[in-house]
């Protein structure tokens, strides 16, 4: 079997040649910023296209400033690296691309040392969570980290300890996913996805000051909802119990896509089945990412013909 090809510090290398020294700062202190980008296969043409890759790299460009990291290339160039990585790995299915910019200093001691590194990997990826049955979620006993502790809008590697604790606790308790409350007790998000609720045909999601990642799928959902005649879209604080009385709840994210939630803390949400608005948004999302409906300019980037080296 061919070794996967990885992009590391400007070179496309076979994965076994990309060892990370054990003293690497990011490994000890979580000083890295990552992204998650999907590319979808168009079932009719077989073409694979990156979805909103430039927006992900633009977000990463903002986020790396939190850790005094500089990205080595422009967002447009990074989109082309992602496409080339997919081609070089000969991937022709749905793909997940993981860029990672991190502190590479090999010294003991906290701080933000100047040595930066940049890696990108591309893997085949199907579902991250079930998007059909309706997820059973539990409100986590772990609180979402605060912006003035570790900003969660920044996709900082170390911040995902918070997500990992909540996700594992949820699984250990028999739930599919966790829902985080923030330090004010309001709903924040899932472990790696944003959350929406539907009330009387209106869409509601926690605003960006509630301790959330400013999700690109969240933005896509709001765009699709506005295009699709949803009565209104509100970004505002959401109480835990407002989730219990919602008609519909769904989670969304690059990996998770749009995933209906049908139970929270054991309580049935709405009818107990994926809701009509959730299903409509899901279908619109699927049609766009797979090229069956027109996307906004710049949202889809064709990867091109796979190659093997
Ligand atoms: N919240 C968190 C904590 C996440 O890690 C993610 C995944 N990137 C999301 C929300 C969803 O963001 P996006 O739609 O940009 O993938």
Q: What is the 3-state secondary structure (H, E, C) of the chain?
A: CCCCEEEECCEEEEHHHCCCCCCCHHHHHCCEEECCEEEEECCCCCCEEEECHHHHHHHHHHHHHHHCCCCCCCHHHHHHHHHHHHHHCCCCCCEEEEEEEEECCCCCCCCCCCCEEEEEEEEECCCCCCCCCCEEEEEEEEECCCCCCCCHHHCEHHHHHHHHHHHHHHHHCCCCEEEEECCCCEEEEECCCEEEEEECCEEEECCCCCCCCCCHHHHHHHHHHHHCCCCCEEECCCEHHHHHCCCEEEEEECCCEEEEEEEECCEECCCCCCCHHHHHHHHHHHHHHCCCCCCCCCCEEECCCCCCC
Q: Average pLDDT, stretch 146-151? A: 96
Whether 304 is covered by a domain: the verdict is no
Whether 295 is covered by a domain: the verdict is no
pLDDT digits (tens, 9 = 90+) for 87-128: 999 999 999 999 999 999 999 999 999 999 999 999 999 999
pTM of the model: 0.97
Structural domain that includes position 228: 135-289
Residues 90 and 147 in one domain: no
Which atom of ligand 1 lies closest to the CA of 220?
A: 14
| Residue 179, pLDDT above cutoff 60 | yes
Distance from residue 2's CA to the centre of ligand 1 (Å): 31
Residues 118 and 141 in one domain: no
155 in active site: yes
Distance from residue 58's CA to the centre of ligand 1 (Å): 14
pLDDT digits (tens, 9 = 90+) for 216-229: 999 999 999 999 88
Residue in 164, 193, 216 to alter for ligand 1 test, most ligand atoms within 8 A of Cβ: 193
Residues 259 and 119 in one domain: no
pLDDT digits (tens, 9 = 90+) for 195-214: 999 999 999 999 999 999 99
Residues 101 and 158 in one domain: no
Residues 270 and 144 in one domain: yes
Q: Average pLDDT, stretch 146-170? A: 97
Domain CATH for 173: 3.20.10.10
Going by alpha carbons, the residue nearest to atom 5 of ligand 1 is 192
Residues 177 and 63 in one domain: no
pLDDT digits (tens, 9 = 90+) for 47-63: 999 999 999 999 999 99
pLDDT digits (tens, 9 = 90+) for 255-286: 999 999 999 999 999 999 999 999 999 999 99
Domain CATH for 39: 3.30.470.10
Distance from residue 194's CA to the centre of ligand 1 (Å): 6
**Overall domain count for the chain:** 2
Residues 162 and 99 in one domain: no
Q: Average pLDDT, stretch 185-191? A: 98
Residues 272 and 161 in one domain: yes
Whether 303 is covered by a domain: the verdict is no
Whether 299 is covered by a domain: the verdict is no
Residues 121 and 139 in one domain: no
Whether 309 is covered by a domain: the verdict is no
Residues 112 and 143 in one domain: no
């Amino acid at each position: 079997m061919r070794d996967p090809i990885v992009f590391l510090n400007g070179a496309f290398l076979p994965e076994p040649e990309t060892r990370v020294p054990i003293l690497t700062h990011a490994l000890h202190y979580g000083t890295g910023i990552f992204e998650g980008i999907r590319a979808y296969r168009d079932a009719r043409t077989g073409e694979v296209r990156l979805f909103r890759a430039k927006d992900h790299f633009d977000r990463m460009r903002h986020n790396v400033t939190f850790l005094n990291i500089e990205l080595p290339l422009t967002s447009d160039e990074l989109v082309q690296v992602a496409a080339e990585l997919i081609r070089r790995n000969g991937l022709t299915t749905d793909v997940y691309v993981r860029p990672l910019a991190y502190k590479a200093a090999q010294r003991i001691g906290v701080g933000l040392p100047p040595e930066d590194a940049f890696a990108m990997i591309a893997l085949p990826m199907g579902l991250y969570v079930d998007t059909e049955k309706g997820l059973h979620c539990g409100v986590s006993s772990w609180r979402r980290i605060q912006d003035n502790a570790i900003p969660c809008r920044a996709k900082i590697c170390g911040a995902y300890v918070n997500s990992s604790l909540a996700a594992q606790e949820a699984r250990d308790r028999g739930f599919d996913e966790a829902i985080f409350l923030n330090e004010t007790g309001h709903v924040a998000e899932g472990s790696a996805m944003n959350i929406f609720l539907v009330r009387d045909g209106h869409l509601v999601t926690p605003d960006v000051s509630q301790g959330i990642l400013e999700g690109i799928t969240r933005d896509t959902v709001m765009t699709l909802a506005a295009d699709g005649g949803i009565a209104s879209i509100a970004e505002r604080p959401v109480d835990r119990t407002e989730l219990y009385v919602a008609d519909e709840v769904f989670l969304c994210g690059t990996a998770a896509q749009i995933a209906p939630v049908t139970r929270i803390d054991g309580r049935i949400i709405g009818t107990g089945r994926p809701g009509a608005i959730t299903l409509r948004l899901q279908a619109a999302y699927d049609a766009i990412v797979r090229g069956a409906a027109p996307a906004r300019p710049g949202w889809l980037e064709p990867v091109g013909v796979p190659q093997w080296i």
